Amino acid sequence: MTLNRRMNMFHTADPKEIINGKITDVYFDRTLKILKAKGLNPIVRGEFIAKNLPEKWPWAIFAGLEEAMYLMKHLPIRVRAMKEGSVFYPYEPVMEIEGRYQDFCVYETAILGLICQASGIATKAARFKKLAGNNLIASFGARRMHPLLAPMIERNAYIGGCDGVAVVKSGELIGEDPMGTMPHALIICFGSTVEALKAYDDVLEPKIKRVALIDTFLDEKFECLNVAEALGRKLFAVRFDTPSSRRGNFYRILEECRWELDMRGYSHIKFYVSGGIKEEDIQDLNPIVNGYGIGTSISNAPVVDYAMDIMEVEGEPKAKRGKWSGSKRVLSCRKCGERKTIPNDKKRYLCSCGRKFYDILIPVLEKGKYLIRLEQPSKIRKGVLDSIKPLPLE
Ligand SMILES: [Zn+2]
């Protein structure tokens, strides 16, 4: 059977097609055609705002700016934005673009796509990390999404707060070694958890931590003891991926395993858990667990529904119903955390606590020229973790 071209390729766009404006809703193409035909090309400002956040999140993390700037640097526009990794609230503009409307109208679809998904993933990761505290959170969900997106997903999971990512290519993107333990497949190939672990220890370089997966063939308690006896001090952790159908009370299973290991002098062995872990599980498991592999909950995080709306035309405030017209500033106080969205004037303002407000919506791009230095993922991540420390999750 012969395959036509469409069947013989990944069903994804070429990056060049995104830059050329091909990933656009057709109504923008049609709008461009009409504006050109009628000679209409006003200078406008448009802003990106989320009126509501998913799952009643009280705040979210702005992410995806680096990619959005990579796209927008090809356009003759000015951009102001919050820095990547900024906390923001509903109704605060996270980004504003200014230019002739014909120059950017077909890019709205792609720009929104870049920030909506990235911000959702980063926010979800931030929430998990805040819940987990000092316990480790690893991004394990690449396998639930299109592989082309894996580095993007894991990069945003990392800047949001994940301690590590699983995919090799994602590790390269963020500049960190990928994290992983062993799959059930390795154990099934050997026919024994202990034999698989011994081979793992035998073959892999010493810097890789020895972590045994212990839910493949036998009861968790007895398998814990088997692997502890086999590797002793060298065993860093055990991972419980216990199928939900066998979990019963997962906390009690973990507690029993901890007891039995501690009794025999294996209290150094840490506990990692994976498999369908949700935000609400973290609080229950935290006292007994040292790390989590989080899959779908982060990789398939709800998106932040930003909209792009024109709010100024030829210098005059003008916006659709339900949106506030005019260009805006977003002010924040470093001392007390108070924030304000105000019209885009040049005045200085003091917070009610006495400290000077500073602008968090700042010029980032001007006709292809970067006006800010892009930060390393590890630095963005640190900024996120610092800024969410005092914030509530509900
Ligand atoms: Zn203040």
Per-residue confidence band for 246, with pLDDT thresholds at 50, 70 and 90? confident
> Is residue 39 over pLDDT 90?
yes
| 308 Cα: distance to centroid of ligand 1 (angstroms) | 30
Q: How far apart are CA 181 and CA 276, in angstroms?
A: 17
Instruction: Return the SS3 of 359.
Output: strand
| 245 Cα: distance to centroid of ligand 1 (angstroms) | 51
Q: Which of 105, 84, 101 has its CA nearest to residue 21?
A: 105
Mean pLDDT of 52-59: 98
* The pLDDT of residue 83: 98
> Is residue 1 over pLDDT 80?
no
Concatenated DSSP letters of 308-357 = EEEEEETTEE---TTS--S-EEEEE-TTT--EEEEES-----B-TTSSBP
Per-residue confidence band for 357, with pLDDT thresholds at 50, 70 and 90? very high
| 159 Cα: distance to centroid of ligand 1 (angstroms) | 27
* DSSP 8-state assignment for residue 208: S
| 332 Cα: distance to centroid of ligand 1 (angstroms) | 8
| 387 Cα: distance to centroid of ligand 1 (angstroms) | 15
* The pLDDT of residue 7: 86
| 25 Cα: distance to centroid of ligand 1 (angstroms) | 43
Which residues, listed in sequence order, are joined to residue 207 by a DSSP beta bridge?
none
| 42 Cα: distance to centroid of ligand 1 (angstroms) | 39
* The pLDDT of residue 364: 98
Element housing 34 (H / E): helix 26-38
> Is residue 59 over pLDDT 90?
yes
Per-residue confidence band for 47, with pLDDT thresholds at 50, 70 and 90? very high
Q: How far apart are CA 204 and CA 97, in angstroms?
A: 50
pLDDT digits (tens, 9 = 90+) for 167-190: 999 999 999 999 999 999 999 999
Q: How far apart are CA 13 and CA 73, in angstroms?
A: 19
Provide the residues around ligand 1 (an ion) whose CB is within 5 A. 333, 335-336, 338, 351, 353, 355
Instruction: Please state, rounded to an integer, the average pLDDT across all residues of the chain.
Output: 96
| 228 Cα: distance to centroid of ligand 1 (angstroms) | 53
Concatenated DSSP letters of 209-264 = -EEEE--SSS-HHHHHHHHHHHHGGGEEEEEE---GGGTSSHHHHHHHHHHHHHHT
| 356 Cα: distance to centroid of ligand 1 (angstroms) | 8
Which residues, listed in sequence order, are joined to residue 359 by a DSSP beta bridge?
331
Mean pLDDT of 344-354: 95
Q: Which of 338, 362, 388 has its CA nearest to residue 133?
A: 388
| 348 Cα: distance to centroid of ligand 1 (angstroms) | 14
pLDDT digits (tens, 9 = 90+) for 121-143: 999 999 999 999 999 999 999 99
| 59 Cα: distance to centroid of ligand 1 (angstroms) | 18
| 335 Cα: distance to centroid of ligand 1 (angstroms) | 5
| 87 Cα: distance to centroid of ligand 1 (angstroms) | 16
Mean pLDDT of 226-243: 96
pLDDT digits (tens, 9 = 90+) for 81-130: 999 999 999 999 999 999 999 999 999 999 999 999 999 999 999 999 99
